Amino acid sequence: MTKEEMVEGILRNCEVSKANVERFYDGLSRLITKELLSQGEMLLPGLGVLRVVTLKARTARNPKTGETIQVPRKKTVRFRPHGELRAAVNPGQAAPGEREAPPAGGGPAAPQA
């Protein structure tokens, strides 16, 4: 999804001007960048959390030439969904913090002597 498609999607669901949606989007982008640089994570309530993680240096292979190359350590951003978003993309699974019902019979069998 492009920025323009996202702005259009928001416009369809809200009664806000396109200029205001674009300003909001740009402001949100700057806020996320600032928080990731200063705090290392950004909580998006109702959606999840963006977190800076460091990937270790590793050895990789160029698939075209077969040559082995060294990939240096680097930082990247990972997103971890929360609550309703996680449930929406994983229908039928227990929500976070909930356990599935124990099997019939009450629990693990006692050891036999």
pLDDT tens-place string over residues 39-65 = 999 999 989 999 999 999 999 999 999
Instruction: Encode pLDDT of 15-45 as tens digits.
Output: 888 999 999 999 999 999 999 999 999 999 9
In angstroms, rounded to a whole number, what is the distance separating the alpha carbons of residues 24 and 55? Answer: 31
Q: What is the pTM of this model?
A: 0.67
pLDDT for residue 83: 82
Query: How far apart are alpha carbons 7 and 1 in whole angstroms?
Result: 10
Q: Rg (Cα) of the chain, in Å, rounded?
A: 22
102 pLDDT higher than 80: no
Query: Is 107 a residue whose pLDDT tops 70?
Result: no
- Evaluate whether 2 touches 20 at the Cβ level (below 8 Å): no
Binned at pLDDT 50, 70 and 90, residue 113 comes out as very low
CA distance 90 to 100: 15
Residue 106 has pLDDT above 80, yes or no: no
